[in-house]
Amino acid sequence: MTKGNINVSVENIFPLIKKFLYSDHEIFLRELISNATDATLKLKHLTGIGEAKVEYGNPRIEVKIDKEQKTLRIIDQGIGMTAEEVEKYINQVAFSGAEEFLEKYKDSAKDSGIIGHFGLGFYSAFMVAEKVEIITKSYRDGTSAVRWICDGSPEFTLEETADKTDRGTEIILHIAEDSTEFLEESKIRELLLKYNKFMPVPIKFGTKTQTLPLPEDAAEDAKPETEEVDNIINNPNPAWTIAPSDLTSEDYMTFYHELYPMQFEEPLFHIHLNVDYPFNLTGILFFPKLANNLNIEKDKIQLYQNQVFVTDEVKGIVPDFLMLLRGVIDSPDIPLNVSRSYLQADGAVKKISSYITKKVADKMTSLINENREDYEQKWNDIKIVIEYGIVSEEKFAEKSDKFTLYPTVDGKYFLWNELVEKITPSHTDKDGNLIILYTSNADEQHSYIQSAQDKGYEVLLLDSHIISHVIQKLESSKEKVSFVRVDADHVNNLIKKDEPVISKLNDTEKESLKKNVEETIKDKKFTVQLEDLDSSDAPFTITQPEFLRRMKDMQATGGGGMFGMGGFPEMYNLVVNSNSEFADQVLKTENTEEKENLIKYALDLAKLSQNLLKGKDLTDFIQRSYQQLKK
């Protein structure tokens, strides 16, 4: 038997890092600025605890392009490195100085905001550079600056240099032929704004022209003077890093526009996230107006790690139903460089998702309790998120009765308990089930709504496109509750009536009326059904079985295992009101043609009110009606 160590030689691993470490080459800049930030924050920490006896001052990071030299430089005023430290931290691939620092200063440094983790970030520079130089001088007294040069092969040179006298590190990237886009000012600006816009150390990139205020005694036609000032790219203190008690609602709005400069509409409200146990997470979520705008592709929630932008693909971290929101989430516990599938399986990530769900539910509860009227006004814009949450997130559904509103067609809003109280026992069927009548479209189902209201029933307006799923969910989680759309088959018979309606026709008359209608219509889609309704109710009403319509709806909006279950038959009930005057009239008409015309006309009217009269049938109907007028 032979035992030994597998030999991983750097020659082999280096091209691998270069090629596969990061799918996105552009992140090299994020990595190098993260290192510069770490170096600065380390110095801040060490001066803070008295271990570094130097002036911390107002350090910043500078990014510079030199097109002629084909270099990109990142310069910081952080702790710098001695020759030994370069040997240790740079020459050892996958040894993280950041992790070592956090280990060493455990308790005191845990909130220092240090970003580095894996000890691989620095080498991402070789994805865009053919040669990298480091010129660095440690903050420690009596150390001299050193220069490290490496051309991407495992060989490097390291020597003392007199070129640098102040503390800090300068990274010089000699940009490779195939990466010259990173010498373009616009490209670098774009990357800085994408990844570094909220990083904690000021980042200077070029200069900008600033207009000076006019002196008070300036002449009326005086032109204001301008001056060149450093252009600081980032806001080192974004709102989510500040305590909510130190922020006004205006601050939140300002931050919203800072985050989404192209978004002009104000959000409805915000939720400030802040937790440090069992994981660290801060952030601010905004509820945009959603009613007519489901354009969630742009301006999505952004994920940060210690103020470094990571991604706006937050699927798996943020529960699906909250992907409609905007804002930021920042957590040092979300690993920077890992794959999506790993993220979704990660325990910390799962906890984050359920924490956010809970926070949103709590916020909704306090919003409705603080100002019910305002909440009702916003309901139409936020309902889709809440309904989606009820359908997809059990934990959210459990809490949702506290803040889910049920609007009626005439503009009242009920919480679940209020609704139940209001309609018990008047809306109960013979088995004691509570029947909740609703409409999905107040215009299209107008006649049905009217007739339900005439009988004294409340009709809810539930018009979201996923409402069938929500109803399904409510019916399975609540006891003895059925939702019935106003135009559904059984509405007339559903609700237990105090006094039964008396029948005007006898059984033979009914038989003959039914036969007349069936023979005239001949359409297999319609099941003719005679009912003793109020004489003032419509003579003919077309209804559709609740279950069938709901299946169709659910299939159309997906989910519930309904995909690919197409081909539901078209089925309608034709309810004939045997107590109507019209029924009398049909029976009394002797002439067969006249009788048939009466029935056809009434059917057309019923179809019309259910939006079923279309095409040629509609044209014919209109023509016949004009003929009628002439008579």
Which residues form the interface with ligand ADP (CB under 6 A)?
31, 35-36, 38-39, 76, 78-81, 89-90, 96-98, 116-122, 169
Shortest distance in whole angstroms from residue 41 CB to Mg ion: 12
Shortest distance in whole angstroms from residue 298 CB to ligand ADP: 31
76 binds, among Mg ion, ligand ADP, none (CB under 5 to 8 A by kind): ligand ADP
- Specify the stretch interacting with Mg ion by CB under 5 A; choose among 114-122, 140-148, 295-303, 409-417: 114-122
Nearer to ligand ADP, 41 or 328 (CB): 41
Shortest distance in whole angstroms from residue 170 CB to ligand ADP: 8
Shortest distance in whole angstroms from residue 58 CB to Mg ion: 23
**Which residue is associated with the tokens 């969630």?**
296
Shortest distance in whole angstroms from residue 71 CB to ligand ADP: 16
Shortest distance in whole angstroms from residue 409 CB to ligand ADP: 60
Q: Which of 59, 80, 113, 116 binds Mg ion (CB under 5 A)?
A: 116
CA distance to 230, 248, 282, 284, 310, per residue, from 243 (Å): 29, 11, 10, 11, 23
419 binds, among Mg ion, ligand ADP, none (CB under 5 to 8 A by kind): none
Nearer to ligand ADP, 121 or 283 (CB): 121
546 binds, among Mg ion, ligand ADP, none (CB under 5 to 8 A by kind): none
Q: Which two tokens stand for residue 85?
A: 């430290």
Q: Which two tokens stand for residue 333?
A: 């516990």
| CA 62 to mean position of chain CA atoms | 35
How much is the CA Rg of the chain, to the nearest whole Å? 36
| CA 499 to mean position of chain CA atoms | 51
Q: Where are the alpha helices (DSSP H) in 480-611?
A: 491-494, 507-521, 546-557, 581-588, 592-609
- Separation of alpha carbons 413 and 458, rounded Å: 11
330 binds, among ligand ADP, Mg ion, none (CB under 5 to 8 A by kind): none
Amino acid at 490: H
Burial (0-12, 13-18, 19+ Cβ within 10 Å), 101: buried
Nearer to ligand ADP, 214 or 338 (CB): 338
Nearer to ligand ADP, 114 or 495 (CB): 114
Within 10 A of 614 (CB to CB), how many other CB atoms are there?
10
Shortest distance in whole angstroms from residue 35 CB to Mg ion: 4
Q: Where are the alpha helices (DSSP H) in 285-409?
A: 340-345, 347-370, 372-392, 394-399
Nearer to ligand ADP, 136 or 578 (CB): 136
Shortest distance in whole angstroms from residue 311 CB to Mg ion: 17
Shortest distance in whole angstroms from residue 281 CB to ligand ADP: 21
SS (H, E, C) 280-316: CEEEEEEECCCCCCCCCCCCCCEEEECCEEEECCCEC
114 binds, among ligand ADP, Mg ion, none (CB under 5 to 8 A by kind): none
Kindly report the backbone phi and psi dihedral angles of residue 57, in degrees, each rounded to the nearest multiple of 5, phi listed first: 65, -150
- Separation of alpha carbons 333 and 280, rounded Å: 6
- Specify the stretch interacting with Mg ion by CB under 5 A; choose among 111-119, 188-196, 386-394, 408-416: 111-119
Burial (0-12, 13-18, 19+ Cβ within 10 Å), 437: buried
Nearer to ligand ADP, 131 or 446 (CB): 131
- Separation of alpha carbons 274 and 284, rounded Å: 9
User: In the complex, which residue's CB is closest to Mg ion?
Assistant: 121
- Separation of alpha carbons 457 and 437, rounded Å: 8
Shortest distance in whole angstroms from residue 98 CB to ligand ADP: 3
119 binds, among ligand ADP, Mg ion, none (CB under 5 to 8 A by kind): ligand ADP
- Separation of alpha carbons 78 and 142, rounded Å: 17
89 binds, among ligand ADP, Mg ion, none (CB under 5 to 8 A by kind): ligand ADP
146 binds, among ligand ADP, Mg ion, none (CB under 5 to 8 A by kind): none
Question: What is the spatial order of strands in the sheet that 71-76 belongs to?
Answer: 156-160, 146-150, 129-137, 168-175, 71-76, 61-66, 203-211, 226-232
Nearer to ligand ADP, 115 or 385 (CB): 115
Asked if residue 199 lies in contact with residue 38, where contact means CB atoms within 8 angstroms, the answer is no
Shortest distance in whole angstroms from residue 98 CB to Mg ion: 6
Nearer to ligand ADP, 21 or 318 (CB): 21
Binding mask 18-47 for Mg ion (x = CB under 5 A): -----------------x------------
Nearer to ligand ADP, 30 or 399 (CB): 30
462 binds, among Mg ion, ligand ADP, none (CB under 5 to 8 A by kind): none
Burial (0-12, 13-18, 19+ Cβ within 10 Å), 74: buried
- With a CB cutoff of 8 Å and minimum separation 6, the contacts of 509 are 587
Nearer to Mg ion, 31 or 487 (CB): 31
Asked if residue 127 lies in contact with residue 42, where contact means CB atoms within 8 angstroms, the answer is no
Nearer to ligand ADP, 96 or 555 (CB): 96
Residues that bind Mg ion (rule: CB under 5 A) add up to a total of 3
Q: Which two tokens stand for residue 574?
A: 């034709």
- Separation of alpha carbons 333 and 114, rounded Å: 12
- Specify the stretch interacting with Mg ion by CB under 5 A; choose among 110-118, 211-219, 332-340, 620-628: 110-118
Asked if residue 330 lies in contact with residue 304, where contact means CB atoms within 8 angstroms, the answer is yes
Shortest distance in whole angstroms from residue 115 CB to Mg ion: 6
Interaction of residue 121 with Mg ion, rule CB under 5 A:
yes
Q: Which two tokens stand for residue 415?
A: 């919480």
Nearer to ligand ADP, 209 or 339 (CB): 339
Shortest distance in whole angstroms from residue 262 CB to ligand ADP: 33
81 binds, among ligand ADP, Mg ion, none (CB under 5 to 8 A by kind): ligand ADP
Nearer to ligand ADP, 137 or 607 (CB): 137
Which of 315, 321, 293 has the alpha carbon at shortest distance from 385?
Answer: 321
- Residues at the interface with Mg ion (CB under 5 A): 35, 116, 121
